[in-house]
Structure 1
């Protein structure tokens, strides 16, 4: 018998089916420039110790701060393999806090427009499951 290795390192989040909640956001990288004018807000955010409070409340998310030249960017990495970068140039610390909350509360899925037929999304095509002729009333109605 041939043994296959696991190809996906992350589990698929099916929150509500299991006994535990899997947070979709696994890592957030904060990138800023140490001398650039557009990074002043993110430097004030880091000095004000707001990030330490957020990191202590959300221990399931890994936070990483990188000094790199260029505009400041906050990038969220998710369990489904996607990432979402948000540019936070020339923003004050309150706006940066809001953008960070958006990344932490996001699922990482692609944003798309819902149509009329997309009201329910599920792994099954039907809420009741797969139809079988053995289900339901067996006596013919007159």
Structure 2
């Protein structure tokens, strides 16, 4: 087991501006692709730009794409999010598919830094009643009962089911008005 999680900042799950409750707002504001026009390590980025960049720009109209050619430098991607965070990724020796995958990964991120979670649930307004679970309102005699128990093992009688009630209503309407009888096959 690795202890690399110990060096991550810890926190709670946060959604930016309650994104997704009304409509989804993509959090990637702009992406900058920096590459060299002749260097071999930039081949995948150049291939992506030549073949897939226009399709990416059409499918993500809310994201601005900048291309920045640089001489004799290693290729990289810089993603800037609406919350002000920036993410840098070196694309040295990436293939065209790898550039596409990393770009779609950055599009789906919220920009919130990767962190380990302290708890599985968190609220800003804690309840005084405690956390609900399926056993909260169960009868306390179940805790000390030994099964099979004759009283607790009996099936509950809740009356007729919804299907039985509908069949009963249908039969009543047939008795009252025989003209509405469905045709027999």
Structure number with bigger Rg:
2
Gaps of 5+ in 1: 1-11, 132-142
> Secondary structure in 2 aligned to 1:13?
helix
Number of the residue aligned with 1:86? 89
Structure 1's 75 and 121: CA in aligned 2 closer, same or farther, altered over 3 A?
farther
TM-score by length of 1: 0.72
Number of the residue aligned with 1:61? 63
CA distance in 1, matches of 2:84, 2:60: 20
Does the alignment pair 1:99 with 2:102?
yes
> Secondary structure in 1 aligned to 2:32?
strand
Number of aligned residues: 113
> Secondary structure in 1 aligned to 2:37?
coil
TM-score by length of 2: 0.56
CA distance in 1, matches of 2:31, 2:54: 13
Structure 1's 20 and 34: CA in aligned 2 closer, same or farther, altered over 3 A?
same
CA distance in 1, matches of 2:117, 2:53: 34
CA distance in 2, matches of 1:90, 1:58: 25
Does the alignment pair 1:44 with 2:47?
yes
Query: 1:13, 1:79 within 8 Å by CA — same for their partners in 2?
Result: no
Task: Output one character per residue of 1:58-115: Cα deviation in whole Å (capped at 9) or x when no partner.
Answer: 1011111111131111111001110111111101101110110111111111111223
Give the CA RMSD over aligned residues: 1.9
Structure with the largest fraction of helix: 2
